[in-house]
Structure 1
Amino acid sequence: MTQIQVVTGAQINEFLDALAVLRIAIFRDFPYLYEGTLEYEKSYLSTYANSKDAIVVLVLDNGKVVGASTGLPLSEETIEFKQPFIDAGYNVDEIFYCAESVLLSAYRGSGLGKRFFEEREAYAKQLEGITHVCFCAVVREEQHLLKPNDYKSLEPFWMSQGYSKTKLTCEYVWRDIDKTVDSAKTMQFWMKSL
């Protein structure tokens, strides 16, 4: 039986290993095609464990982490993610960043994606000064060689949750599963007022 558990701040440390393994597994799929390492993942996730205002929404099945959704104030993110907003005149102290949602395929289609957004937005509303939420997604060419024939874009789902695609983008670097070197990817930001 699945259950939702919300953890914040130092509580996140308990789940870092499980989150790292889950992120590597899910992000190998299109469109991310991410060749991840546990070492990098633990370093990346430590940002959340070290933030008093970070949140992780966990999906547990008999105690095993099968899904997770993360977020923290944009002001605590890396400069790659903050700079486009700064350049566009936004106050990053007023924005909550919904970092990622990862869910094993067997658990998809049951409303958990919607729940991930609801939990993070409700949490963001409790933080002083937060007026907007955002996230970003990788931009891949329509005819990408590794795009599955049955791939369905999440854009209609994101719009149904009240998010709009912005003109803001950033570059983020990782290694694709079919490459031998890291390369920069364009990340498109989506945003919503609270």
Structure 2
Amino acid sequence: MINPLSFEICRAGRLAEIIDDLARLRIAIFRDWPYLYDGADPVYERRYLEVYLRSPHAAAIVARDDGGRIVGASTCLPLADEAAPMRAPFEVRGQDLRRFFYFGESVLLPACRGRGAGVRFFALREEAARAAGADFAVFCAVHRPPDHPARPAGWVPLDGFWARRGYARLPGLSCTYPWKEVGTGHEVPHRLDFWGRALGAVPLPEQLLEDR
């Protein structure tokens, strides 16, 4: 019998307690497809993650195994508090960033997958977003061409899973973010495509549904 995972919402005041665990998981998991992230510096990771420590409404959903070890985490914060590349596509379309919550990292050790963590990560991040007064949730996913040489055989993208959670691709809404990629030895700019959903009765703004 596989023991279930436990989940908790870790809000701003406690994020510093788990930031090193999140950095460790990012280094281990994002090295694989589709991110191919060549990260190995805990100091760099912590500096990258400090955006969550600065945001009073940031949260992380923490997954623990039956021994209490952190085996996964999923982050979120107001879009207005995110880095400029994530804010820019919404600002260009004249959106009030205070209405949006941005869903960041979701990392989970391979041995703990298949236990419902993905569903819980989304549900609890949406709970945090609504508690902060957000109308919409958005996230972005790295864009990889179908013929990318590192693409594993039989790999299935998460589009279907996201659609079942009520999310839709926001046409024409993308940003560019650099990271050091496996096999390159240097930072490479990556295209990230946005997905989003309404958290209540107010629909997503039409400006985000237009393919420009």
Range into which the TM-score falls when normalised by the shorter chain: over 0.9
The counterpart of 1:30, out of the listed 33, 54, 69, is 33
The counterpart of 1:14, out of the listed 1, 12, 17, is 17
> Contact 1:69 / 1:116 at 8 angstroms: preserved in 2?
yes
SS of the residue 2:190 aligns to? strand
Taking structure 1 as the reference length, the TM-score comes to: 0.96
Amino acid at match of 1:18: D
How far has the Cα of 1:150 moved from its partner? 2.9
Identity percentage of aligned residues: 39
**Equivalence for 1:89:** 94
**Equivalence for 2:164:** 160
Paired with 1:165 and 1:156, the residues of 2 have a C-alpha distance of 11
The number of equivalent residue pairs is: 193
C-alpha distance after superposition, 1:34-57 (max 9, x if no partner): 011212210111111222100100
Asked if 1:44 is matched to 2:48, the reply is yes
How far has the Cα of 1:63 moved from its partner? 1.9
Structure 1: segments with no counterpart, 5+ residues: none
How far has the Cα of 1:154 moved from its partner? 0.5
Asked if 1:187 is matched to 2:183, the reply is no
Structure 2: segments with no counterpart, 5+ residues: 200-212
Taking structure 2 as the reference length, the TM-score comes to: 0.88
**Equivalence for 2:205:** none
Amino acid at match of 1:87: V
Paired with 2:184 and 2:42, the residues of 1 have a C-alpha distance of 18
How far has the Cα of 1:107 moved from its partner? 1.4
Paired with 1:152 and 1:107, the residues of 2 have a C-alpha distance of 19
Larger radius of gyration: 2
Task: Point out 4+ residue stretches in structure 1 off by more than 4 angstroms.
Answer: none
SS of the residue 1:116 aligns to? helix
The counterpart of 1:140, out of the listed 129, 133, 144, is 144
